[in-house]
Amino acid sequence: MSVVTTAAPRTICAPLPVLGRDVAVPLVTGGEVTYAALDYAASAPALQRVWDDVAAYAPYYGSVHRGAGYLSQLSTDLFENARRTVEEFLDCRPEDQLVFTRSTTDSLNLLAAALPADCQVFVFETEHHASLLPWKDARVTYLDAPRTPAQAVETLELALAARDPYGPALVCVTGASNVTGELWPVRELAAAAHAHGARIVLDAAQLAPHHPVSVQDLDVDWIAFSGHKLYAPFGSGVLAGRADWLQAADPYLAGGGASRKVTRREGGGVDVEWHDSAARHEAGSPNVIGAYSIASACKALTEAGFDTLVAREQYLIEKVRAGLAGIPAVKVLSLFGDDAPRVGVISFVVEGWNSSHFAAALSAEYGIGVRDGLFCAHPLVRTLLGTDPQTQGECGAPEAAPGEKSLNAIRVSFGAGTPDEHVDRFVTAVRELVTDGAKWNYRTENGRCVPTV
């Protein structure tokens, strides 16, 4: 691997203010240190802007689509304005429909429930479980992990060419891997899908926080993402795209808000007329704070400017990759190779270390929060590691099955709120742990590697 320069680009900017940036955590070796949150790929910290906006609205919180009172009307306007803001952020088509959900997982399960009868689904084994698992009621073709973007397109084209050409079909693909951070050729995959009469849904959970995402430019039929990865951790997500399959499907949840009219049926039972709008799949009291927080994050990222944000993140990526490249015991995981464009998500293993042990030492001795395990992408991580799953380690991996204690990796991830000091501390900590070993003893407790007390 060639060592890349870490010279800061001219467009370098300060990190966006986030909550928790001044939180101090204790070290097992004594004293405290400012916590380095480097697990953005799991849940990014809330932007200060998002928190301030939510706090300003909170006294005016009221029911949505339900009441005649001032607060209820204000909350309804806020909720629907949030929908329009997110539609603009995603550059949706005028006829598209945007449904607020709980998360990416919820969004893709909603789409899975709306698939037409006898739909064929094509999904790469490299997907996060949120986009790998929801299609249980469809005819699913799982595609092998590609080793180049071009191979991904070729693999999909061959699979689609062999499909039943007369039934509906859907391709599900990630925009950026939650394991390697590598960008996928979404536009080319969308073109392949459409050329063979299929539709495509983009899992943008790891892409939207890092890069601008345009439904129209990428030519995807749907897009799904989570607020908690977009600096808006209030339990909300988005599914946006074509309305026809959503309007034709039964409501994802049956209940108030999804129904336009309910009448008693002569002889017993009820007849229901469902909404054709997004409300069809938003039954119950909407998570107005979650929706508003996503809209606030969309505005903050747009105003900061993605060109500037991407340039700064690339600077941090190069810092981390150059630092890890200088440590011979470290192996960075990749599908597409060292030169593949990526977001701030990097997974690696350290020779001679169980990954859970290493992550525990980063936390306990350096105040650095990373992720270890299989990252809810088990088939992909197993492919990338290619190791003997029976090899034992001294500390257990929380997501591994019995007998797979060594089959896990370490993931560091960062974004718009990450200070330089956090990635500098991380690289220094990795080098010191590899060179000098841990300063503390560790044990496995409830499946996690923790410091011995």
The enclosing H or E element of 298 equals helix 288-304
Q: Nearest CA to 50 among 229, 294, 213?
A: 294
The phi, psi pair for 248, rounded to 5°, reads: -80, -15
The single-letter DSSP state of residue 420 is H
Order of all β-strands in the sheet with 97-101: 97-101, 237-241, 222-226, 199-203, 169-174, 120-124, 139-143
| Strand bridging mode 24-26 / 330-332 | unpaired
Residues 238-250 as b/e (b if ≥16 CB within 10 A, e otherwise) read: bbbbbbebbbebe
Distance separating alpha carbons of residues 72 and 82, to the nearest angstrom = 15
Partner residues linked to 410 by β-bridges: 348, 372
Beta carbons of 24 and 35 less than 8 angstroms apart: yes
Beta carbons of 35 and 25 less than 8 angstroms apart: yes
Beta carbons of 34 and 22 less than 8 angstroms apart: yes
Catalytic residue among 92, 119, 172, 376: 376
Q: Nearest CA to 345 among 105, 181, 207, 218?
A: 181
Both structure tokens of 293: 């927080």
Beta carbons of 200 and 173 less than 8 angstroms apart: yes
Residue 398 region by backbone torsions, left for phi larger than 0, else alpha for psi between -120 and 50, else beta: alpha
Among this protein's residues, is 119 annotated catalytic? no
Helical residues (DSSP H) of 133-258, grouped into ranges = 149-161, 186-195, 215-218, 244-248
Beta carbons of 382 and 407 less than 8 angstroms apart: yes
Residue 163 region by backbone torsions, left for phi larger than 0, else alpha for psi between -120 and 50, else beta: beta
Residue 341 region by backbone torsions, left for phi larger than 0, else alpha for psi between -120 and 50, else beta: beta
Partner residues linked to 448 by β-bridges: 445
- CA distances for 386 relative to 334, 349, 389, 398, 409, angstroms: 12, 12, 9, 19, 12
**What residues are annotated to the active site?**
376
